[in-house]
Amino acid sequence: MSVRGGSVLIQKPKGTVDILPGQVDVWQFVEETAKAILDRYRYFEIRTPMFESYDLFARGVGETTDVVSKEMYDFYDKGDRHIALKPEGTAAVVRAFIEHKLYAPEEAKPYKVFYLSPMFRYERPQGGRQRQFNQLGVEVFGNANANTDVEVISLAWDILTSLGIHNKKLVINSLGTPDTRLAYRQALIDYLEPHFDQLSKDSQTRLHKNPLRVLDSKAPQDQELVKGAPSILAYLSEASKARFDMVQAMLDDLGIPYEIDANMVRGLDYYQDTIFEIMPLGDDLNAQATICGGGSYDGLVSQLSDGKQEVPGCGFAIGLERLILTMADQDVQVPEMHPLDIYVVNIGEETDRYAMKVLHQLRQAGYTADRDFLMRKAKRQFKEADKQGADLVITIGGQEIADQVVQIKNMASGKEETVAYADLAADPRPIIEAIKGDNK
């Protein structure tokens, strides 16, 4: 906090960031690239509110998860409703799916949506971890099958690859059905209980509440113990085993490499059967941090509709901050997002009106165009045009007004032409295109 003249200068809340105009280009590139791929896969955008009732996440994500028990931004509104800023997108989309009867016979099957949205979690901020962060997520409803699991995984893989993230690994696992989890839960407790004293404090509390979470504890003493734990894969039903085998066969067919990690559990309670995570490879700071996590949640629609609708679901979310950090780590070059076609240099007060007219005509014709508004010296204006990377510079001075012409310079070739103002005003396109093309 800094103090100026006795008053406190207000700064952004901890764990949030401002993304400034220059920095936003990479975000726009990511969003545009991802949207084009999502379109190819026939996923359509859904926008749900930024806040929901607290109960949605308590019931949907799970009361004992860190996300709900420690990290939610929740409050009572003026009407005494218990509200939470959404910590994740899946429960919100499932709520909308049920509320709008998107399971109705006339709706698409499976029903495929995506969202780009800020999410809120009260976590300890660090690189790639914020309190307001952004997710690109997808959800698919209506098919509990390996083919949908693999479509979802391949979509995530495709988006990350198209954004230049080549150094990455996909880790998969299966959590089976709730019955599997129940049987496995007991086996895990039986295995861990004799080692209770060696477990970290967090894992000791989790052991009876949510023992599967002990498996992805980051504490070294837990990790050592977990190495010898029974594998959930040994507890899968025939159907779950067949589905997981098919996921692997189809990933092989698509040439998508993967690793199986039987200790991967994910941090949200709604998953069953196939789950997956994608993390960057490399020795930089962010490597190993998960950029994308997801899986199937075949019981969630049923749970949130009080058993009225039994519609399976599957999806993922990519953390965009982590994705963008990884792009920087892997030296991905982002194309110029806002190229400037023309900069209008105007010299002398009397050119102000004329420059305004020319600028307006260029913009009406569809060009990105700007001018000097500050009546700066010619040299300073050319510098500005250069800084903004203008393809062409149009120069207007007293002489040009007298002759009713403008000078148009191709910045790449240095060639300059004099053009009659009447011609430019009639139709700038052929003139501008000819000069733009003349850049040898």
Interacting residues toward ligand HAM by CB under 6 A: 88-90, 121, 123, 128-130, 133, 135, 137, 139, 267-268, 290-295, 315-317, 319, 321-322
The one-letter code for the residue type at 48 is T
270 vs 343, which CB is nearer to ligand HAM? 270
Which of 92, 149, 401, 129 lies closest to 298 in space, CA to CA? 149
d(CA 234, CA 240): 11
Which of 350, 348, 339, 347 lies closest to 392 in space, CA to CA? 339
Enumerate the known binding-site residues for L-histidine.
88-90, 121, 135, 139, 266, 270-271
Least distance between ligand HAM and beta carbon 40 (Å): 20
Least distance between ligand HAM and beta carbon 432 (Å): 44
- What's the sign of the alpha-carbon dihedral 361, 362, 368, 372? negative
Least distance between ligand HAM and beta carbon 279 (Å): 8
Which of 66, 56, 27, 406 lies closest to 205 in space, CA to CA? 66
Kindly list the distances between the CA atom of residue 356 and the CA atoms of 365, 380, 390, 398, in Å, as whole numbers in the listed order: 14, 19, 18, 15
17 vs 234, which CB is nearer to ligand HAM? 17
Which of 392, 385, 429, 384 lies closest to 411 in space, CA to CA? 392
115 vs 421, which CB is nearer to ligand HAM? 115
Check: CB of residue 113 under 8 Å from CB of residue 44: yes
Enumerate the known binding-site residues.
88-90, 121, 135, 139, 266, 270-271
275 vs 362, which CB is nearer to ligand HAM? 275
18 vs 80, which CB is nearer to ligand HAM? 18
CA dihedral 326, 329, 335, 340 (to 10 degrees): 110
Least distance between ligand HAM and beta carbon 167 (Å): 16
Least distance between ligand HAM and beta carbon 119 (Å): 7
Residue nearest to ligand HAM according to CB distances in the complex: 319
163 vs 406, which CB is nearer to ligand HAM? 163
Tokens describing residue 116 = 């780009």
93 vs 347, which CB is nearer to ligand HAM? 93
Exposed / middle / buried, residue 121 (Cβ in 10 Å: 0-12, 13-18, 19+): buried
Sheet holding 74-76, edge to edge: 51-53, 82-85, 74-76
Which of 151, 103, 145 lies closest to 301 in space, CA to CA? 103
Least distance between ligand HAM and beta carbon 413 (Å): 46
How far from chain centre, in Å, is Cα 318?
5
128 vs 428, which CB is nearer to ligand HAM? 128
Least distance between ligand HAM and beta carbon 328 (Å): 15
Which of 244, 252, 204, 243 lies closest to 225 in space, CA to CA? 204
Least distance between ligand HAM and beta carbon 125 (Å): 8
d(CA 91, CA 270): 9
Q: Which helix (H) or strand (E) holds 68?
A: helix 66-69
- Neighbouring C-beta atoms of residue 87, cutoff 10 Å: 24
Check: CB of residue 62 under 8 Å from CB of residue 212: no
Least distance between ligand HAM and beta carbon 322 (Å): 4
33 vs 132, which CB is nearer to ligand HAM? 132
Peptide bond into 430 cis (omega under 30): no
139 vs 269, which CB is nearer to ligand HAM? 139
Largest CA distance in the chain: 95
Least distance between ligand HAM and beta carbon 73 (Å): 12
